[in-house]
C-alpha cells in the first residue's frame, strides 16, 4: 500500500454524486428490524452518561480472555478470524498440503459482478495458491532444509568486497522485502498526480521505532536488552563465529541509524517530506554512495529523472555512517536483516526464536498464531487478489455492495450540506472542499480488474524461493509503472482485508468486502446502528481528505494548498485543542496517547461520527425513528459506534502502539469522540454532573 494512504479500518468506481442531489431513501423492512445493539454485553451498573463505552461493552471487557496468539482483540479481529476460516476452506478445497490437483476452471468459476476471469488464468492461480500454501505447511521439509534456503543469500553478503557494493545489495533487499537502511516506493507523484514517481524513505531498524533505541525508559531499555540477546542467539543459530560481538556491533549501528531518523510525527508532514531531487543531485546528498549502481540494480535507471527523498538529513547522515562503519559490521548487519526476514519461513527453531522476541518479548503475546493462519497471511501477501477473487465469489453478496453505495451517497450528501454551515471555513475554501467531494471516487468490495499473476513462479517444494519470487514479482510490477499513466483502478488492500482506507493522491475511499459485516454493517439491522458503525467509518475515511494531512491535497490529488491562511489558522486552533484532549488519555500507566501522532485519525473519528449522525437524520426524512429494544434511534446510533470499538490490548502491545500507531487505542476511539458531539448529550440526556460531560467551550467541533 502507498505510504500516504490513511486507514480506518473489485469495486466499480462510484463517482460522488453531484452537489444538491437528493438523499437516497432508505430500504424498507418487511418485518420489524433488529436493533443491532449487542445488549448481551451491557453492564447495567455503569450509566451511559458516565461511560457509554463501558456501559455497552462492560460484560465483554470483564470476561473476555485474549487468545494466547493475539496482542489485541476487537471487532476487526473477530471479523478477520471468521474471514480466515473462510479463506482456509477455499484454499484447502483447491488442493492444499494433502490434497490433489487444483479444481477445473469451471469449478473455480467467474466472480459474480466482477467480470468473468479468464478460465485458464483462474485455474493456474488456483494451482499456485494450493502449491504456495502446501510449501508453507510442509514443516517436515523445512526441518530437513534447516538454514539451506539462505546459503546463496549469505554468500552474496559475504562476497561484499567494498562499500561500493552496498548499494546493489540494498537494491536486492528492497526487491525482496528484506529490511535495509532505506526503502523505495513507486506511487503517484504527490505534486503531479498524473505520473508515477520513486520515493526514497528511511528504514532498516530491527526494533519498532527509533524511540526503542533512544528513550531512557525502563520498558524500552528492557526491550533493547532483549533485542541484543535475540540478535546474538539468532546469529549463533545461523553459525556466526562471534555472535556476541556481531550482535553488539549491529545494535550499535542501528542505534546510530535511529539517531538520524525523523520521528513519526515529523514524517506526517507531506510538504516537508516532499523533496524532489534530480538523479544527478543524488551524489550531492550522499557523495560517497554509488547511486548509479543502486539505480541500475533496482531497475530504475533510465526510467526517471528525479526521485522524492522523504528525509534528506537522514540520507546525508547515512552516507557518513557508511563511511565510518567497518565493512565487516555492515556484512553482519545485512546478514542479520536477511536472517530476520527469512526466519518465519525456516525450520521451527528459527520460527520460535523470532516469535519469542517479536511476539512475546516485545508485545506480550504468549503463543504464535496457528500455522495455517500464518499460511493464509503468506497467500494474502503474495497472491492477495487471486484468493480475493474466490472469496468475493463465495462470500460477498451483490446486495451488500448495492446497500453500501446507497449509504455512501447519503453520507456524501450530508458532507455537502454541512460544508456551507462551517463557521471556520471561508467561501473560497468551501469551494475547494466541494470540488474535492465531487471528484471523490468510492470503491466497494473488490477491484474492477483483477491482478494478473501469470509471471509469478510458485513451486510446491520451495517456500523461501516462493516468498522471494513473490516479492520480486511485486517489485517488478511497481517499476513497470514508471513512465505509464496512473492506474486509477488499482487497489492497495485485498477484498478479504478487514479495513478501509483513503488515498489522498487518488482522492478515493476504498472499502474491501470483508469489513462489510457486523458489527460494522448488518443488513438485517435497523439503519441507526449501521450509521453509527459502517457509515461513521465511511465518514472517517472521507474526512481524511480534509484532516491536517489530507487537506493539503486538492481535488485531483496534488499536494497544493487550497486553504486560505485564515482558515488554516482556525483549523489549527481546533486541532491543537484535539491534540490536548487525546494527550490526556493514558492506556498504560506512564504511557499517554500521542495526540500529534494520532491527530489525523482522531480528526477522522470525530468528523466521521458527526457527519454519519447528520446523514442518519437526513435518511429519516423528518420521521421519528421507532424505539427498538428500549433505545431511541439516536441512542442506537451512538451505541453502534461504541460497540464497534469494543476491544482489549495487552499492555506491552499498547506501549508499542503509543510509539508507532497513528490510531488511538480502542477504548479511546469508542469514548473520546462522543464527548465532542452535542447530539450525544441530547440522546442520553447528559448533564454537567455526569462523567461524560464536557463543557461546550471545551468541545472540539470541526464538522
- Give CA separation, 101 vs 93, 95, 128, 447, in Å: 10, 5, 11, 28
Strand segments (E) across 551-678: 647-649
What grid cell was written down for 669? Answer: 476511539
Q: How many angstroms separate the CA atoms of 36 and 671, rounded?
A: 19
Q: How far apart are CA 57 and CA 41, in angstroms?
A: 5
Angle at 507 between CA 529 and CA 74, to 5 degrees: 35
Which pLDDT belongs to residue 97?
Answer: 47
C-alpha span between 397 and 673 (Å, rounded):
32
Q: Is the peptide bond before 519 cis (omega within 30 degrees of 0)?
A: yes
CA 214 to chain centre: 26
d(CA 680, CA 52): 10
317 vs 172, 260, 267, 283, 289, CA distance in Å? 22, 6, 17, 13, 12
**Nearest of 189, 220, 191, 188 to residue 207 by alpha carbon:** 220
Dig out the grid coordinates for 385 from the structure: 487478489
The answer to whether 45-71+398-445+518-698 and 163-326 have equal CATH topology is: no
The radius of gyration of the chain from alpha carbons, rounded to an integer in Å, stands at 26
- 163-326, CATH topology level: Neutral endopeptidase; domain 2 (1.10.1380)
Angstrom distance (rounded) from CA 666 to CA 143: 40
- CB atoms < 10 A from the CB of 120, how many? 10
**Which CATH architecture best describes the domain 45-71+398-445+518-698?**
3-Layer(aba) Sandwich (3.40)
Domain locations in the chain as residue ranges:
45-71+398-445+518-698, 163-326
Strand order in the sheet with 441-445: 6-7, 501-503, 508-512, 441-445, 14-15
Q: How far is it, in rounded angstroms, from Cα 550 to Cα 544?
A: 5
Helix (H) or strand (E) holding 186: strand 182-189
Pairing of strands 508-512, 441-445: parallel
Give me the pLDDT at residue 403, please.
Answer: 85
* Beta carbons within 8 Å of 41's beta carbon, 6+ residues apart: 56, 57, 58, 59, 60, 643, 646
Take residue 490 and report the three cell numbers written for it: 488499482
pLDDT number for residue 121: 63
The phi, psi pair for 358, rounded to 5°, reads: -70, -30
Cα 338 from Cα 349, distance rounded (Å): 16
CB 110 within 8 A of CB 688: no
The residues of the chain scoring below 70 in pLDDT are: 1-32, 96-121
**How far is residue 266 CA from its own chain's centroid?**
19
Q: Dihedral sign, CA of 34, 35, 36, 42?
A: negative
pLDDT digits (tens, 9 = 90+) for 569-591: 999 999 999 999 999 999 999 99
| Terminal-residue alpha carbon distance, the chain | 28
Amino acid at each position: 500500500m502507498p505510504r500516504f494512504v490513511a486507514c480506518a479500518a473489485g469495486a466499480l468506481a462510484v463517482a460522488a454524486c453531484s452537489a444538491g442531489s437528493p438523499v437516497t431513501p432508505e430500504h424498507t423492512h418487511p418485518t420489524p428490524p433488529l436493533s443491532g445493539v449487542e445488549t448481551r454485553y451491557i453492564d447495567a451498573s455503569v450509566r451511559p452518561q458516565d461511560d457509554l463505552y463501558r456501559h455497552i461493552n462492560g460484560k465483554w471487557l470483564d470476561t473476555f480472555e485474549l487468545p494466547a496468539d493475539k496482542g489485541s482483540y476487537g471487532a476487526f479481529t473477530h471479523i478477520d478470524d471468521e474471514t480466515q476460516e473462510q479463506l482456509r476452506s477455499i484454499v484447502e478445497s483447491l488442493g492444499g498440503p494433502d490434497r490433489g490437483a487444483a479444481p477445473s476452471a469451471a469449478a473455480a468459476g467467474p466472480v459474480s459482478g466482477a467480470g468473468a476471469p479468464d478460465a485458464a488464468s483462474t485455474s493456474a492461480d488456483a494451482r499456485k495458491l494450493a502449491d504456495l500454501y502446501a510449501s508453507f505447511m510442509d514443516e517436515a521439509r523445512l526441518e530437513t532444509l534447516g538454514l539451506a534456503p539462505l546459503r546463496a543469500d549469505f554468500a552474496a553478503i559475504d562476497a561484499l568486497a567494498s562499500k561500493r557494493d552496498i548499494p546493489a545489495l540494498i537494491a536486492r533487499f528492497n526487491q525482496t522485502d528484506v529490511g535495509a537502511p532505506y526503502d523505495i516506493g513507486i506511487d503517484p507523484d504527490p505534486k503531479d498526480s498524473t505520473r508515477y514517481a520513486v520515493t526514497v524513505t528511511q528504514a532498516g531498524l530491527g526494533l519498532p521505532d527509533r524511540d526503542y533505541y533512544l528513550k531512557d525508559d525502563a520498558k524500552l531499555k528492557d526491550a533493547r536488552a532483549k533485542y541484543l540477546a535475540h540478535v546474538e542467539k539468532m546469529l549463533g543459530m545461523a553459525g556466526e563465529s562471534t555472535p556476541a560481538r556481531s550482535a553488539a556491533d549491529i545494535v550499535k549501528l542501528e542505534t546510530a541509524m535511529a539517531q538520524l531518523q525523523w520521528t513519526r510525527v515529523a514524517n506526517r508532514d507531506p510538504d516537508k517530506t516532499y523533496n524532489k531531487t534530480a538523479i544527478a543531485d543524488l551524489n550531492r546528498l550522499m557523495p560517497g554512495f554509488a547511486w548509479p549502481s543502486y539505480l541500475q540494480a533496482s531497475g530504475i535507471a533510465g526510467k526517471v529523472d528525479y526521485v522524492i527523498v522523504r528525509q534528506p538529513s537522514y540520507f546525508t547522515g547515512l552516507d557518513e555512517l557508511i563511511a565510518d562503519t567497518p565493512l565487516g559490521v555492515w556484512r553482519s548487519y545485512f546478514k542479520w536483516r536477511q536472517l530476520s526476514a527469512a526466519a518465519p519461513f525456516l525450520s521451527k527453531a528459527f520460527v520460535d526464536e523470532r516469535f519469542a522476541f517479536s511476539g512475546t518479548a516485545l508485545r506480550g503475546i504468549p503463543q504464535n498464531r496457528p500455522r495455517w493462519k500464518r499460511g493464509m497471511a503468506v497467500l494474502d501477501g503474495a497472491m492477495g487478489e487471486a484468493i480475493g477473487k474466490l472469496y468475493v465469489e463465495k462470500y460477498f453478496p451483490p446486495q451488500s455492495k448495492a446497500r453500501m453505495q446507497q449509504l455512501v451517497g447519503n453520507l456524501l450528501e450530508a458532507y455537502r450540506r454541512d460544508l456551507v454551515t462551517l463557521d471556520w471555513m471561508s467561501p473560497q475554501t468551501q469551494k475547494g472542499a466541494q470540488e474535492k467531494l465531487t471528484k471523490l471516487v468510492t470503491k466497494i468490495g473488490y477491484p474492477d480488474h483483477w491482478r494478473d499473476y501469470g509471471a509469478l513462479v510458485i513451486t510446491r517444494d520451495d517456500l523461501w524461493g516462493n516468498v522471494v519470487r513473490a516479492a520480486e514479482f511485486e517489485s517488478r510490477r511497481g517499476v513497470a509503472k514508471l513512465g505509464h499513466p496512473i492506474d486509477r483502478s488499482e487497489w492497495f488492500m485485498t477484498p478479504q482485508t478487514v479495513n478501509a482506507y483513503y488515498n489522498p493522491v487518488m482522492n478515493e475511499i476504498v472499502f474491501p468486502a470483508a469489513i462489510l459485516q457486523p458489527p460494522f454493517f448488518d443488513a438485517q439491522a435497523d439503519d441507526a446502528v449501521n450509521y453509527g458503525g459502517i457509515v461513521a467509518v465511511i465518514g472517517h475515511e472521507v474526512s481524511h481528505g480534509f484532516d491536517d494531512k489530507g487537506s493539503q491535497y486538492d481535488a485531483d490529488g496534488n499536494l497544493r494548498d487550497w486553504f486560505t491562511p485564515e482558515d488554516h489558522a482556525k483549523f489549527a486552533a481546533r486541532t491543537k485543542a484535539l491534540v490536548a484532549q487525546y494527550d490526556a488519555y493514558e492506556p498504560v500507566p506512564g504511557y499517554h496517547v500521542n495526540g500529534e501522532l494520532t491527530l489525523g485519525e482522531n480528526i477522522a473519528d470525530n468528523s466521521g461520527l458527526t457527519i454519519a449522525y447528520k446523514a442518519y437524520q437526513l435518511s429519516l426524512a423528518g420521521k421519528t425513528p421507532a424505539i427498538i429494544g428500549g433505545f431511541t434511534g439516536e441512542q442506537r446510533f451512538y451505541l453502534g459506534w461504541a460497540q464497534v470499538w469494543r476491544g482489549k490490548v495487552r499492555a506491552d502491545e499498547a506501549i508499542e502502539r503509543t510509539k508507532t500507531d497513528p490510531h488511538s487505542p480502542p477504548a479511546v476511539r469508542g469514548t473520546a469522540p462522543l464527548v465532542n458531539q452535542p447530539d450525544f448529550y441530547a440522546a442520553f440526556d447528559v448533564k454537567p454532573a455526569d462523567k461524560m460531560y464536557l463543557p461546550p467551550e471545551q468541545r472540539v467541533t470541526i464538522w
